[in-house]
């Protein structure tokens, strides 16, 4: 996992970024940035890319974002934007907070937000979004502390343990092998997930909720 930044490209207007094993994509130095397309074509189901935040607050004329296959994405900072139009296509995300200067006008589609277009196109789970003047990543700690896979190590079954009364919706569990290759998706019976058909080894279980995701390593015997 690593951080990618662009400190020496202040005049860059368009960026296509294709990668998976990244935790932070820092574009704050790209003051002239207008368009970003971010994707991961390295694997069939690259849900282990852990970028949680995209900050365009220094790119005041940013106008076009095509954001693909970022299941951990939680925050897009669009403060200070002065572009005539803004368009986002968001594919495969969670509950995304879009930080703006006036969230009430943005929510109601009033100027200048009446020229904004946000298209949601989910692969596994359709993403949701909302506007705020102060987005945070505080839900990450909450999800980390309240969801776990048990038992671990395991042989035949595992269970997602969590309190169903905490106001968080468990949407799916994605199972990947140790190299990050997608194995299968589980969307029901979270208290008894069959793993007896898996070969022995280490697997990544990505717990996807409506307020964030958590990844746990599980040893299958």
State pLDDT tens for residues 82-118.
999 999 998 766 678 899 999 999 999 999 999 999 9
pLDDT per residue as tens digits for the range 51-75: 888 999 999 999 999 988 777 788 8
Rounded CA-CA distance 116/78 in Å is 11
Q: What is the pLDDT of residue 120?
A: 80
- On whether both 16 and 115 belong to a single domain, the answer is yes
- On whether both 37 and 114 belong to a single domain, the answer is yes
Q: What is the pLDDT of residue 79?
A: 96
Q: What is the pLDDT of residue 163?
A: 75
- On whether both 204 and 124 belong to a single domain, the answer is no
- On whether both 128 and 170 belong to a single domain, the answer is no
Rounded CA-CA distance 67/43 in Å is 16
Tally of domains within the chain: 2
- On whether both 110 and 157 belong to a single domain, the answer is no
Q: What is the pLDDT of residue 71?
A: 74
- On whether both 30 and 117 belong to a single domain, the answer is yes
- On whether both 54 and 109 belong to a single domain, the answer is yes
The CATH number that applies at residue 164 is: 2.60.40.3580
Instruction: Indicate whether 25 pLDDT > 50.
Output: yes
- On whether both 133 and 187 belong to a single domain, the answer is no
Rounded CA-CA distance 73/53 in Å is 6
pLDDT per residue as tens digits for the range 132-181: 888 876 566 667 777 889 999 999 999 999 877 667 888 899 999 888 88
CB 72 within 8 A of CB 48: no
pLDDT per residue as tens digits for the range 117-145: 998 875 444 557 889 888 876 566 667 77
b/e for 52-75, b at 16 or more Cβ within 10 A?
A: bbbbbbbbbbbbbbbbbbbbbbbb
* More confident call, 141 vs 50: 50
- On whether both 46 and 94 belong to a single domain, the answer is yes
Instruction: Indicate whether 48 pLDDT > 70.
Output: no
Instruction: Indicate whether 212 pLDDT > 80.
Output: no
- pTM of the predicted model as reported, rounded to 2 decimal places: 0.61
- On whether both 128 and 95 belong to a single domain, the answer is yes
Domain stop point among 76, 107, 137? 137
* Distance set, CA 130 to CA 111, 147, 201 (Å): 17, 24, 39
Domain stop point among 94, 115, 137? 137
- Compute the mean pLDDT over every residue in the chain, rounded to the nearest whole number: 85
Range of the domain at 30: 3-137
State the CB neighbour count (10 A cutoff) for residue 98. 22
- On whether both 186 and 85 belong to a single domain, the answer is no
- On whether both 150 and 203 belong to a single domain, the answer is yes
Domain stop point among 83, 113, 137? 137
């Amino acid at each position: 996992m690593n951080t990618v930044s662009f400190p020496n490209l202040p005049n860059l207007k368009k960026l296509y970024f294709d990668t998976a094993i990244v935790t932070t994509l820092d574009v704050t130095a790209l003051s002239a940035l207008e368009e970003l397309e971010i994707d991961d074509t390295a694997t069939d189901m690259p849900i282990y890319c852990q970028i949680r935040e995209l900050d365009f607050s220094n790119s005041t004329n940013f106008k076009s974002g095509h954001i693909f296959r970022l299941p951990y994405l939680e925050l897009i900072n669009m403060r200070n934007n002065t572009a005539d139009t803004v368009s986002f296509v968001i594919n495969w995300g969670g509950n995304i907070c879009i930080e703006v200067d006036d969230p009430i006008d943005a929510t109601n589609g009033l100027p200048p937000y009446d020229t904004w277009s946000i298209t949601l196109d989910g692969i596994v789970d359709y993403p949701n979004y909302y506007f705020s003047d102060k987005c945070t990543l505080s839900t990450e700690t909450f999800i980390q502390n309240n969801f776990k896979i048990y038992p671990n190590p395991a042989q035949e079954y595992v269970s997602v343990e969590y309190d169903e009364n905490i106001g968080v919706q468990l949407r799916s569990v994605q199972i990947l092998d140790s190299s990050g290759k997608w194995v299968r998706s589980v969307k029901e019976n979270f208290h008894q997930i069959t793993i007896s058909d898996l070969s022995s080894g280490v697997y990544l279980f990505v717990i996807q909720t409506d307020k964030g995701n958590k990844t746990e390593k599980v040893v299958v015997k």
